[in-house]
Amino acid sequence: MKKKRVKPNVINVMADGRVIPDAEFMAQPYVVVAEDNYDFHVKCNRVFDPNHYAKKALRRKYILAEQRRAELEAQQAEIASQLSRL
């Protein structure tokens, strides 16, 4: 038995309710706006990265360490100024 060649008729339904045929849809330029897809990108990273939470904790640890370092440097400068006055 010979296979039938079937050409599917694809109909695209747009978000605003317009129905356009596949040829018209494929003729349109494909534009990706990174700002619109940022949340989706973050969710995908969280889902597909097994070490996501470990990296997030490590990032937080580094931020807290930088803040503490800045506080200690400020205290050190204050102590040095007090010692110079003595």
What's this model's pTM, rounded to 2 decimal places? Answer: 0.45
Beta strand extents in the chain (DSSP E only): 11-13, 19-21
| Mean per-residue pLDDT pooled into runs of 10, the chain (86 residues) | 80 84 83 80 83 91 97 96 92
Predicted local distance difference test score (pLDDT) of residue 42: 83
31: phi then psi, degrees, rounded to nearest 5: -120, 130
In the numeric block, which tokens belong to residue 5? Answer: 């060649």
Q: Is 6 helix (H, G, I), strand (E, B) or coil?
A: coil
Residue with tokens 């800045």: 70
